[in-house]
């Protein structure tokens, strides 16, 4: 049996990303991909998210962040790979 690689990426999303349902839409996208982690608004107006799970599913979540929900205007994202922590579930902070 081959186990899938567990990846963890932290994403900071820049642009008009607060007040446009970004966090809840991100949570739904992550749950659809069966990815764990969390998402939160930051005081500087960005949104930060952590995705953990199979590499291909995490990559799709990171890709989703490049567009976000319909009302978002994403101007860029910062992506950082981190060691997996074994998070359970996906939460909005």
Could you tell me the two tokens for 35? 């990815």
Catalytic residue among 10, 23, 27, 42: 23
Residues 23, 92, 81, 46, CA torsion sign: positive
For the sheet with 36-41, list strands across it.
Answer: 73-81, 6-16, 47-54, 36-41, 90-92
Q: Is 23 a catalytic residue?
A: yes
Q: Which of 10, 28, 40, 41 is catalytic?
A: 41
CA–CA separation, 13 vs 74, rounded Å? 7
Q: Which residues are catalytic?
A: 23, 41
């Amino acid at each position: 049996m081959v186990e899938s690689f567990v990846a963890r990426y932290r994403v900071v999303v820049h642009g008009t990303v607060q007040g446009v349902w970004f966090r809840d839409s991100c949570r739904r996208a992550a749950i659809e991909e069966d990815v764990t982690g969390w998402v939160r608004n930051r005081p500087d107006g960005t949104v930060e998210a952590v995705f953990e799970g199979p590499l291909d599913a995490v990559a799709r979540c990171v890709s989703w962040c490049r567009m976000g929900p319909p009302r978002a205007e994403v101007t860029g994202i910062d992506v950082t790979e981190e060691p997996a922590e074994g998070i359970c579930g996906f939460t909005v902070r």
